[in-house]
Amino acid sequence: MTVAPARQWISSMSQFSPDRAAFDAAYGAAIDYRQSLGQRPPRAAVDPAALKAAFSTPLPDRPRPARQVIDDLVSAASAGLMANSGPNFFGWVMGASHPAGVAADWLTAAWGQNAGIYQTSPAAAAAEDAVARWLLDLFGLPRDCGFGLTTGATMAGFTCLTAARNTVLARAGWDIEERGVFGAPPITVLLGAEAHSTIFAALRYLGFGEDNILRVTADDEGRMVADDLKAKLARCEGPTIIIAQAGHINSGAFDPFTEIADIAAAHGAWLHVDGAFGLWARAVERLRPLADGVERADSWSVDGHKWLQAPYDTGFAIVRDADAHRRAMRIAASYLGASPDGERDPSSYAPELSRRARGFGVWAVMQALGREGITEMIERHCACAQHLKARLADEPGVEFLNQVVLNQAAIAFRSHAAPGHETLADKVIEQIQKRNRCFVAGAEWKGRKILRISIISADTDIEHVDLLADEIIAAWRAVRSEL
Ligand X SMILES: *Cc1c(COP(=O)(O)O)cnc(C)c1O
**Nearest residue (beta carbon) to ligand X:** 152
Any bridge partners for residue 411, and if so which? 400, 451
405: contact with ligand X by CB under 6 A: no
Nearest to 442 by CA among 434, 457, 459, 454: 454
CA separation for the pair 64, 68 (Å, rounded) = 7
> Among 90, 270, 277, 307, which residue sits at the site for ligand X (rule: CB under 6 A)?
277
In angstroms, give the least distance from the CB of 403 to ligand X.
17
Taken in order 192, 408, 149, 37, is the CA torsion positive or negative?
positive
311: contact with ligand X by CB under 6 A: no
CA separation for the pair 418, 158 (Å, rounded) = 44
Only one of the segments 129-137, 146-154, 179-187, 458-466 lies at the binding site for ligand X (rule: CB under 6 A); that segment is 146-154
113: contact with ligand X by CB under 6 A: no
Only one of the segments 262-270, 272-280, 368-376, 399-407 lies at the binding site for ligand X (rule: CB under 6 A); that segment is 272-280
108: contact with ligand X by CB under 6 A: no
> Among 194, 303, 321, 471, which residue sits at the site for ligand X (rule: CB under 6 A)?
303
> Among 198, 299, 347, 433, which residue sits at the site for ligand X (rule: CB under 6 A)?
198
Only one of the segments 148-156, 171-179, 292-300, 429-437 lies at the binding site for ligand X (rule: CB under 6 A); that segment is 148-156
Residues 34, 79: contact at Cβ < 8 Å?
no
**How many residues sit in the footprint of ligand X (CB under 6 A)?**
13
> Among 98, 165, 196, 223, which residue sits at the site for ligand X (rule: CB under 6 A)?
196
SS3 (DSSP) at 270: strand
- The nearer residue to ligand X, 174 or 439, going by C-beta atoms, is 439
SS3 (DSSP) at 166: helix
CA distances from residue 405 to 30, 191, 286, 291 in whole angstroms, order as listed: 36, 22, 11, 11
Per-residue binding string, ligand X, 245-264, x by CB under 6 A, is --x-x---------------
Q: What's phi and psi for 83, nearest 5 deg?
A: -90, 50
152: contact with ligand X by CB under 6 A: yes
The CA-CA-CA angle for residues 396, 398, 401, to 5°, reads 140
167: contact with ligand X by CB under 6 A: no
- The nearer residue to ligand X, 118 or 312, going by C-beta atoms, is 312
Residues 72, 53: contact at Cβ < 8 Å?
no
- The nearer residue to ligand X, 303 or 345, going by C-beta atoms, is 303
- The nearer residue to ligand X, 310 or 401, going by C-beta atoms, is 310
CA separation for the pair 322, 314 (Å, rounded) = 20
In eight-state DSSP terms, residue 210 is G
- The nearer residue to ligand X, 320 or 452, going by C-beta atoms, is 452
CA distances from residue 476 to 105, 379, 425, 445, 458 in whole angstroms, order as listed: 41, 28, 9, 19, 27
In angstroms, give the least distance from the CB of 276 to ligand X.
3
- The nearer residue to ligand X, 121 or 301, going by C-beta atoms, is 301
345: contact with ligand X by CB under 6 A: no
| H-helix or E-strand spanning residue 165 | helix 153-171
Q: What's phi and psi for 482, nearest 5 deg?
A: -90, -5
218: contact with ligand X by CB under 6 A: no
In angstroms, give the least distance from the CB of 70 to ligand X.
28
Residues 54, 404: contact at Cβ < 8 Å?
no
CA distances from residue 412 to 190, 339, 387, 471 in whole angstroms, order as listed: 30, 55, 17, 15
194: contact with ligand X by CB under 6 A: no
409: contact with ligand X by CB under 6 A: no
In angstroms, give the least distance from the CB of 393 to ligand X.
27
Per-residue binding string, ligand X, 42-81, x by CB under 6 A, is ----------------------------------------
CA separation for the pair 160, 423 (Å, rounded) = 39
In angstroms, give the least distance from the CB of 274 to ligand X.
5
CA separation for the pair 386, 408 (Å, rounded) = 10
- The nearer residue to ligand X, 144 or 220, going by C-beta atoms, is 220
Only one of the segments 179-187, 270-278, 388-396, 456-464 lies at the binding site for ligand X (rule: CB under 6 A); that segment is 270-278
CA separation for the pair 319, 315 (Å, rounded) = 13
In angstroms, give the least distance from the CB of 90 to ligand X.
15
Only one of the segments 53-61, 70-78, 274-282, 370-378 lies at the binding site for ligand X (rule: CB under 6 A); that segment is 274-282
- The nearer residue to ligand X, 93 or 377, going by C-beta atoms, is 93
Residues 94, 84: contact at Cβ < 8 Å?
yes
- The nearer residue to ligand X, 271 or 469, going by C-beta atoms, is 271
Residues 120, 112: contact at Cβ < 8 Å?
no
> Among 315, 346, 361, 442, which residue sits at the site for ligand X (rule: CB under 6 A)?
315
Q: Taking the chain, what is the end-to-end CA distance rounded to the nearest angstrom? A: 77
Taken in order 9, 14, 17, 22, is the CA torsion positive or negative?
negative
Give the binding site for ligand X (CB under 6 A).
93, 152-154, 196, 198, 247, 249, 274, 276-277, 303, 315
